[in-house]
């Protein structure tokens, strides 16, 4: 095995793979995507070894549900949304070292091979299990195909997780489950499927939870399982979407969160050892790496806190590899939830094409929904740009000049004619600028990530004439490090 020197001891930062059931909107950007990129750039500037993992997620059945709802051919829809997601990553300067492409045959074969090996070793077992299908349309009621009420908090939820409380949900645990596709009633379905018995890995999971740097909200989701049994988790089952199983899994489709767990084993391993294929080679490569740091929404806590570490443990990685997680809350648009079905959204690729990506990154960092639901407002964004641009020493983009001129012509603007900040002066004493820059650097560390604080401290320093060449400014804006 050839170990790439730069990878040895590296931390893998996971930029979550967005489901291709829509383009990224500005709310997505404000959550895990920009934060992961900023944290990775800042860590590299400190001299830390970092691998960034990104990708897209094609296999959740949310994709087929969206295509059916919109009357689109699913493959055309996937291609369109993939292109928009790629454009948002590119325009937003969100880079990666490893890209998980689930539409590549080699990836699907690798996932099948790894599952087959886990079955052969008894880490996953074929066993009878009761799943549920719709009594009307016959669909297996997994993920987007089932809705009901969360058993933990009573909120409306699908068969993946509960957005408000972050708890794990399935057709078996939801209260009053119904088919989300046709409204039909669930009926039990006895199937023999490959099962990852999470309870078998309890000791290793507790070791992971004990050493990882996790926010209190994630710990609350995990602590439920200190007393409750960990569920049996089917990693493949009858379904009309997802990677087709081969060998012993023929006729089944692979569960997409299980696929994601395997992608975290496989993707970074291939960077360490480009020939890595199969469980043993991936585990050997992973022994060279320090661990995984997840950026994700709180509603994925069950998956990054339990399922993915259990996949690693089942593969034979006995030492903890979950270094920590940074989570976010919901981001609102003009006071209400982003909704593509109500066309209440700002698409990230379009927004980034119309505005200076540096100002977009800084603004979304400024009001990141890290501790509570925060809000995007157009008025606030425009005011921020007016104020921040002179601090950065930059010029407005052509389209911003245009839109500002149009606003002025329509009489809608009451903005000062001097650009809102050409002569802002210092807003911290010059003697404090170095301290603020130091605080900003600390605010971009993985275990104390607070991009909102970093922007405020940076702007204080910039107003006092310092920080133009700083690693903090480079990380927040995505400029090449100076």
Interface positions with Zn ion (CB under 5 A): 134, 136-137, 150, 152-153, 155, 162, 165, 167, 179, 181-182, 184
We find the least distance from the C-beta atom of residue 31 to Zn ion, in angstroms, to be 19
| Residue placing its CB nearer to Zn ion in the complex, 150 or 279 | 150
| Residue placing its CB nearer to Zn ion in the complex, 162 or 433 | 162
| Residue placing its CB nearer to Zn ion in the complex, 98 or 171 | 171
| Residue placing its CB nearer to Zn ion in the complex, 43 or 165 | 165
We find the least distance from the C-beta atom of residue 238 to Zn ion, in angstroms, to be 14
We find the least distance from the C-beta atom of residue 167 to Zn ion, in angstroms, to be 5
**Start-to-end CA span in the chain (Å):** 34
Beta bridge partners of 300: none
The torsion region of residue 424 among left (phi > 0), alpha (psi -120 to 50) and beta comes to alpha
Helix (H, G, I), strand (E, B) or coil at 57: strand
| Residue placing its CB nearer to Zn ion in the complex, 224 or 407 | 224
| Residue placing its CB nearer to Zn ion in the complex, 32 or 167 | 167
Q: Identify the burial level of 220 via C-beta atoms within 10 angstroms of its C-beta, where 0-12 means exposed, 13-18 middle and 19 or more buried.
A: middle
The torsion region of residue 450 among left (phi > 0), alpha (psi -120 to 50) and beta comes to beta
The answer to whether residues 197 and 234 touch, using CB atoms and an 8 Å cutoff, is: no
The CA distance from 139 to 147, in Å, is 13
We find the least distance from the C-beta atom of residue 182 to Zn ion, in angstroms, to be 3
The CA distance from 287 to 317, in Å, is 8
The CA distance from 4 to 79, in Å, is 33
| Residue placing its CB nearer to Zn ion in the complex, 152 or 277 | 152
* Residues in CB range of 233: below 8 A, 6 or more apart: 195, 196, 197, 198, 255, 258, 307, 310
416-434 as b/e, with b when 16 or more CB fall inside 10 Å?
eeeebbeeeeeebeeebbe
Helix (H, G, I), strand (E, B) or coil at 193: strand
The residue among 215, 291, 213 whose CA lies nearest residue 51 is 291
The CA distance from 328 to 14, in Å, is 14
| Residue placing its CB nearer to Zn ion in the complex, 110 or 301 | 301
Backbone angles phi, psi at 25, to 5 degrees: -105, 175
We find the least distance from the C-beta atom of residue 308 to Zn ion, in angstroms, to be 21
Backbone angles phi, psi at 211, to 5 degrees: -90, -20
The residue among 287, 236, 212 whose CA lies nearest residue 446 is 212
We find the least distance from the C-beta atom of residue 168 to Zn ion, in angstroms, to be 10
The CA distance from 410 to 140, in Å, is 55
| Residue placing its CB nearer to Zn ion in the complex, 96 or 133 | 133
The residue among 205, 197, 230, 166 whose CA lies nearest residue 312 is 205
| Residue placing its CB nearer to Zn ion in the complex, 4 or 152 | 152
The CA distance from 18 to 101, in Å, is 11
The CA distance from 63 to 74, in Å, is 7
We find the least distance from the C-beta atom of residue 424 to Zn ion, in angstroms, to be 45
| Residue placing its CB nearer to Zn ion in the complex, 1 or 182 | 182
We find the least distance from the C-beta atom of residue 184 to Zn ion, in angstroms, to be 4
| Residue placing its CB nearer to Zn ion in the complex, 131 or 458 | 131
We find the least distance from the C-beta atom of residue 181 to Zn ion, in angstroms, to be 5
The CA distance from 21 to 43, in Å, is 32
| Residue placing its CB nearer to Zn ion in the complex, 118 or 150 | 150
Helix (H, G, I), strand (E, B) or coil at 117: helix
We find the least distance from the C-beta atom of residue 309 to Zn ion, in angstroms, to be 22
We find the least distance from the C-beta atom of residue 60 to Zn ion, in angstroms, to be 17
We find the least distance from the C-beta atom of residue 304 to Zn ion, in angstroms, to be 17
We find the least distance from the C-beta atom of residue 73 to Zn ion, in angstroms, to be 21
The residue among 219, 297, 298, 312 whose CA lies nearest residue 258 is 312
């Amino acid at each position: 095995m050839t170990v790439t020197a730069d990878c040895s001891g590296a931390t893998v930062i996971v930029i979550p793979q967005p489901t291709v059931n829509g383009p990224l909107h500005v709310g997505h950007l404000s959550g895990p995507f920009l934060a992961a990129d900023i944290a990775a750039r800042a860590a590299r500037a400190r001299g830390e070894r970092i691998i960034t993992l990104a990708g897209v997620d094609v296999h959740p059945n949310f994709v087929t549900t969206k295509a059916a709802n919109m009357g689109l051919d699913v493959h055309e829809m996937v291609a369109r949304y993939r292109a928009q997601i790629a454009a948002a990553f590119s325009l937003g300067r969100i880079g990666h070292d490893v890209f998980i492409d689930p539409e590549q045959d080699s990836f699907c074969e690798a996932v099948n091979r790894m599952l087959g090996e886990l079955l052969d070793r008894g880490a996953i077992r074929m066993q009878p299990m009761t799943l549920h299908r719709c009594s009307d349309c016959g669909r297996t009621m997994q993920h987007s195909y089932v809705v009901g009420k969360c058993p933990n908090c009573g909120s409306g939820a699908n068969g993946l997780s509960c957005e408000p409380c972050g708890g794990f949900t399935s057709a078996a645990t939801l209260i009053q489950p119904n088919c989300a596709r046709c409204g039909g009633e669930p009926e039990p379905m006895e199937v023999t499927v490959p099962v990852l018995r999470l309870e078998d890995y309890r000791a290793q999971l507790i070791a992971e939870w004990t050493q990882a740097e996790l926010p209190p909200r994630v710990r609350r989701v995990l602590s439920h399982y200190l007393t409750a049994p960990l569920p049996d988790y089917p990693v493949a089952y009858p379904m009309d979407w997802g990677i087709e199983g081969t060998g012993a899994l023929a006729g089944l489709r692979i569960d997409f969160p299980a696929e994601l767990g395997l992608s975290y084993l496989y993707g970074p391993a291939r960077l360490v050892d480009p020939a890595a294929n199969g469980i043993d080679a991936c585990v050997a490569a992973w022994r060279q790496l320090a661990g995984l740091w997840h950026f994700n929404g709180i509603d994925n806590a069950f998956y990054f806190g339990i399922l993915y570490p259990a996949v690693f443990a089942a593969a034979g990685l006995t030492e903890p590899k979950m270094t920590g997680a940074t989570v976010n809350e919901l981001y609102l648009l003009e006071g209400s939830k982003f909704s593509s079905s109500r066309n209440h959204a700002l698409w990230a690729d379009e927004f980034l094409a119309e505005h200076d990506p540096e100002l977009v990154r800084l603004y979304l960092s400024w009001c990141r929904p890290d501790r509570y639901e925060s809000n995007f407002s157009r008025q606030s964004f425009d005011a921020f740009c007016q104020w921040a641009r002179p601090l950065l020493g930059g010029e407005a983009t052509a389209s911003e000049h245009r839109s500002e001129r149009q606003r002025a012509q329509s009489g809608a603007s009451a903005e000062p004619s001097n650009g809102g900040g050409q002569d802002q002066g210092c807003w911290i004493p010059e003697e404090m600028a170095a301290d603020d820059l130091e605080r900003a650097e600390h605010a971009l560390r993985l275990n104390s990530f607070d991009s909102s604080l970093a922007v405020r401290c940076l702007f204080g320093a910039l107003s006092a004439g310092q920080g133009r060449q700083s690693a903090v400014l480079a990380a927040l804006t995505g400029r090449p490090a100076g």
